[in-house]
């Protein structure tokens, strides 16, 4: 499971002209589910996300997490994070979990984030989404549960 984490001043997701998720200060997280991912991958990434210290304290150092600042999270499913680009010019997505499996895993991820106490919004699984991100910093970090 991969998560591309962006520290944002705000972010929103629109589907068909309708805003389905929006946050203020916090994290916009693009989430890709790989074949073979499990509940352990979910637990690892949720713990990492909620406690990742990428917000600055009064001295300007990365000492605060999204939980520390009472920030929000916007989670967006993004199977293209699992792309394999090692061969040729067209990405291969064979490493991504099948849609039904990925949707269940993504929903588990969303629920675990909500249980952490951080306000969490989402996009819409399998929808064509327009994601507006106001990256703050910019700060962008890739997390991969298989690299723990």
Token couple for 31:
């989430």
The reply to whether 78 belongs to the active site is: yes
CATH of residue 7: 3.50.80.10
Provide the strand spans (E) within the chain.
Answer: 2-15, 18-23, 26-32, 55-56, 62-64, 72-77, 119-122, 130-144
**Which candidate in 6, 55, 72, 78 is catalytic?**
78
Per-residue pLDDT tens digits of the chain, which is 148 residues long: 999 999 999 999 999 999 999 999 999 999 999 999 999 999 999 999 999 999 999 999 999 999 999 999 999 999 999 999 999 999 999 999 999 999 999 999 999 999 999 999 999 999 999 999 999 999 999 999 999 8
pLDDT score at 125: 95
Question: In sequence order, what are the residues at sequence separation of 6 or more whose Cβ sits closer than 8 angstroms to the Cβ of residue 69?
Answer: 25, 26, 55
Whether residue 6 contacts residue 127, with contact meaning beta carbons closer than 8 Å, is answered with: no
**Which candidate in 6, 55, 79, 109 is catalytic?**
79
The reply to whether 72 belongs to the active site is: no
The answer, yes or no, to whether the previous bond of 79 is cis (omega within 30 of 0) is: no
Say how many domains are in the chain.
Answer: 1
**DSSP-derived pairing of the beta strands 55-56 and 2-15:** unpaired
**DSSP-derived pairing of the beta strands 55-56 and 62-64:** antiparallel
Rg over alpha carbons for the chain, rounded to the nearest Å, is 15
The reply to whether 121 belongs to the active site is: no
The residue range of the domain holding 52 is 2-147
């Amino acid at each position: 499971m991969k998560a591309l984490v962006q520290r944002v001043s705000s972010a929103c997701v629109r589907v068909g002209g309708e805003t389905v998720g929006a946050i203020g200060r916090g994290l916009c997280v693009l989430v890709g589910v790989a074949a073979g991912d499990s509940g352990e991958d979910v637990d690892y990434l949720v713990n990492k996300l909620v406690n990742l210290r990428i917000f600055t304290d009064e001295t300007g150092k990365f000492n605060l997490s999204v939980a520390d600042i009472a920030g929000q999270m916007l989670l967006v499913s993004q199977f293209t994070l699992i792309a394999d680009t090692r061969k040729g010019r067209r990405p291969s997505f064979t490493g991504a979990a099948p849609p039904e499996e990925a949707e269940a895993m993504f929903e588990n991820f969303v629920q675990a984030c909500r249980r952490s106490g951080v306000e969490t919004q989402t996009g819409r699984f399998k929808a064509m989404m327009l994601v507006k991100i106001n990256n703050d910093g910019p700060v962008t970090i890739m997390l991969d549960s298989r690299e723990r």
